[in-house]
Amino acid sequence: GDGAAAGSYGYTNSGYSVYEEENDRLTESLRTKVSAIKSLSIEIGTEVKNQNKILSEMENDFDSTGGLLGATMGRLRTLSRGSQTKLLCYMMLFSLFVFFVIYWIIKLR
* Per-residue pLDDT tens over the stretch 82-105: 666 777 788 889 999 999 999 898
pTM for the predicted model, two decimal places: 0.46
Condensed to tens digits (0 to 9), the pLDDT of residues 61-86 reads: 888 888 888 888 888 777 667 666 77
CB 52 within 8 A of CB 64: no
Q: So where are the chain's domains?
A: 13-82
DSSP letter for 15, please: I
